[in-house]
């Protein structure tokens, strides 16, 4: 498709490029699966699922992809499946992932794609605690909290449209970094729940886990672990708490439920030995994971030298750790060491071939090294594996611009501008479209 220059208005040009990104959010009055009551729900079940399928892979990849420890990944999935059949929506396409990210978190998308990180897996001590965390996420899916929050207009337009305004903020922060994925890595595609949602998810989690044969002690243990960690290392839980508000009240509620309604279930399975056995491989590199956590926090605070020390230590313990290698590549980029960054991103790609996040970072490293064709090839590969990330469109536009392919670059910039019109990237993209005559500058005093 060829865009005709100058004759097109900005709106027309933007409309020409690429497929529409709009998510179908048609719903209506639906029965809440948990309460059985009819309620207004703008997000239909099929929309919940399609939104989930569209976004979960991006988030999972940004969290360094699925654990390469197949036995542990399988175990987590089996525990989740035991609970899923006990839920109010047993037929949802549940998917229980374990991810390489080191920070402490668990999250779910509205169609039932959920994940736990290595950080939280390392923090827990028995299978009942794992059942509790998965039960809680299942609670969010079953009570349809994302759909509810969208219906009430509590999720930002960015989240509704499947793109993220956080790109701008996040990107300004990491302008010099090779993150390149906008806010996706920070969980920007996930819903922020209310305290009421959390209470309901906890109650449902407790119900599902006990029905699946686990002791309610697991929920109490989980809350205790999270509260303790929050007191000692609040930064580690920042992301988890930003989507799941946490309080000592939740611990007290779990305790009361265990001593009251679920008292008879207290003697059910804790599964400490099995959990310890399954997570033995993770515990062997616990030192590395802790150092990765330190490194990630240092990166967030832009203390790159400090991050370098932590990542070096982590790689000394676990030299073939994909998350470690890729984090090191980003850190080297932040320090302006492009050659070193390239070396680490190549090693990351060799230990986890095809994982899209590394491909994206490779593109950013090439871009910084002014290897525009290599950068474009990487972004195209990423876009094929995980389509629809506006941030990729922007960076690909930059690569194409570097290659002198103005028309293709303009198309990519226009694609980006359809997703977001705020931030430095948007200003750059907009300015190029003006410079190249695709759009007219807005008249003075008429801000667009």
CB of 123 to Zn ion, least distance (A): 16
Give the number of other CB atoms < 10 A from CB of residue 313.
Answer: 17
CB of 196 to Zn ion, least distance (A): 11
- CB distance 321 to 285 below 8 Å: yes
CB of 365 to Zn ion, least distance (A): 36
Contacts with 114 (C-beta within 8 Å, 6 or more apart), sequence order: 80, 94, 95, 96, 97, 106, 107, 108, 134, 137, 138, 141
CB of 141 to Zn ion, least distance (A): 11
CB of 132 to Zn ion, least distance (A): 11
Distance between CA atoms of 187 and 189, rounded to whole angstroms?
5
Considering the complex, state which of residue 96 and residue 311 has its C-beta at the smaller distance from Zn ion: 96
Considering the complex, state which of residue 135 and residue 324 has its C-beta at the smaller distance from Zn ion: 135
Task: Report the alpha-carbon angle 420-424-427, nearest 5.
Answer: 70
Considering the complex, state which of residue 200 and residue 425 has its C-beta at the smaller distance from Zn ion: 200
> In this chain, which residue has its C-beta nearest to Zn ion?
244
- CB distance 363 to 382 below 8 Å: yes
Binders of Zn ion among residues 169 to 228 (CB under 5 A) are 198, 201
Considering the complex, state which of residue 184 and residue 201 has its C-beta at the smaller distance from Zn ion: 201
- CB distance 270 to 218 below 8 Å: yes
Question: One symbol per residue from 30 to 69: x for binding Zn ion (CB under 5 A), - otherwise; what is it?
Answer: ----------------------------------------
Q: Return the CA Rg of the chain.
A: 23
Contacts with 351 (C-beta within 8 Å, 6 or more apart), sequence order: 320, 321, 322, 325
CB of 146 to Zn ion, least distance (A): 11
CB of 147 to Zn ion, least distance (A): 15
Considering the complex, state which of residue 88 and residue 244 has its C-beta at the smaller distance from Zn ion: 244
Binders of Zn ion among residues 352 to 381 (CB under 5 A) are none
354: left (phi over 0), alpha (psi -120 to 50) or beta: left
Element (H, E) at 421: none
Q: Which tokens is 448 given? A: 């667009």
CB of 193 to Zn ion, least distance (A): 5
Backbone CA torsion sign across 420, 448, 169, 347: positive
CB of 133 to Zn ion, least distance (A): 9
Considering the complex, state which of residue 180 and residue 205 has its C-beta at the smaller distance from Zn ion: 205
Nearest alpha-carbon partner for 328 in 288, 283, 279, 378: 288
Question: Cα 143 vs. chain centroid, distance in angstroms?
Answer: 21
Distance between CA atoms of 351 and 277, rounded to whole angstroms?
25
Considering the complex, state which of residue 58 and residue 250 has its C-beta at the smaller distance from Zn ion: 250
Binders of Zn ion among residues 233 to 272 (CB under 5 A) are 244
- CB distance 289 to 263 below 8 Å: no
Considering the complex, state which of residue 109 and residue 174 has its C-beta at the smaller distance from Zn ion: 109
Considering the complex, state which of residue 77 and residue 247 has its C-beta at the smaller distance from Zn ion: 247
Considering the complex, state which of residue 139 and residue 388 has its C-beta at the smaller distance from Zn ion: 139
- CB distance 128 to 215 below 8 Å: yes
Considering the complex, state which of residue 136 and residue 430 has its C-beta at the smaller distance from Zn ion: 136
Cα dist. 435→8, 184, 216, 404, 406 in Å?
A: 14, 30, 63, 14, 11
CB of 12 to Zn ion, least distance (A): 43
In the chain, what is the greatest distance between 2 CA atoms, to the nearest angstrom? 74
Q: Which tokens is 221 given? A: 């243990």
By CB under 5 A, the count of residues binding Zn ion is 3
CB of 183 to Zn ion, least distance (A): 19
- Residues within the interface to Zn ion (CB under 5 A): 198, 201, 244
């Amino acid at each position: 498709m060829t865009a005709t220059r100058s004759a097109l208005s900005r709106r027309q040009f933007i409309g020409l490029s690429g497929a529409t990104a709009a998510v179908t959010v048609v719903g209506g009055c639906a029965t809440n699966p948990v309460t059985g009551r009819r309620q207004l729900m703008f997000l239909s079940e099929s929309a919940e699922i399609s939104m989930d399928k569209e976004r979960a892979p991006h988030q999972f990849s940004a969290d360094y992809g699925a654990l390469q420890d197949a036995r542990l990944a399988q175990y987590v999935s089996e525990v989740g499946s035991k609970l899923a059949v006990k839920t109010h929506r047993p037929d949802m396409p549940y998917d229980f992932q374990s991810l390489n990210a080191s920070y402490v978190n668990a999250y779910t998308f509205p169609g039932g794609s959920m994940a736990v990180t290595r950080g939280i897996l390392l923090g827990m001590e028995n299978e009942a605690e794992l059942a509790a965390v998965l039960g809680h996420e299942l609670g969010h899916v079953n009570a349809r909290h994302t759909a509810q929050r969208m219906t009430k207009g509590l999720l930002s337009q960015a989240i509704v449209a499947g793109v993220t305004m956080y790109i701008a903020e996040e990107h300004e922060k990491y302008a010099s970094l090779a993150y390149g994925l906008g806010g996706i890595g920070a969980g920007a595609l996930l819903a922020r729940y209310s305290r009421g949602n959390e209470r309901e998810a906890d109650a449902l989690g407790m119900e599902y886990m006990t029905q699946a044969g686990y002791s309610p002690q697991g929920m109490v243990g989980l809350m205790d672990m999270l509260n303790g960690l929050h007191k000692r290392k609040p930064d580690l839980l920042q992301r988890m708490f930003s989507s799941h508000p946490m309080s000592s009240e939740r611990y007290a509620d779990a305790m009361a439920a265990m001593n009251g309604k679920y008292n008879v279930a207290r003697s059910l399975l804790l599964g400490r030995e099995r959990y310890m056995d399954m997570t033995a491989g993770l515990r062997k590199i616990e030192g590395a994971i802790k150092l990765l956590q330190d490194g990630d926090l240092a990166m967030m605070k832009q203390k790159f030298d400090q991050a370098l020390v932590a990542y070096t230590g982590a790689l000394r313990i676990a030299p073939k750790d994909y998350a470690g290698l890729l984090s090191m590549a980003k850190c080297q980029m932040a320090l302006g060491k492009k050659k070193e960054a390239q070396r680490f991103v190549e090693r990351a790609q060799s230990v986890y071939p095809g994982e899209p996040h590394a491909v994206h970072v490779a593109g950013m490293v090439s871009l910084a090294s002014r290897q525009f064709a290599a950068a474009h090839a990487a972004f195209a590969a990423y876009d094929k594996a995980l389509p629809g990330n506006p941030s990729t469109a922007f960076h690909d536009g930059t690569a194409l611009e570097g290659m002198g392919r103005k028309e293709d670059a303009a198309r990519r910039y226009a694609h980006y501008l359809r997703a977001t019109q705020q931030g430095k990237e948007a200003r750059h993209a907009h300015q190029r479209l003006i410079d190249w005559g695709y759009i007219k500058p807005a008249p003075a005093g008429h801000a667009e």
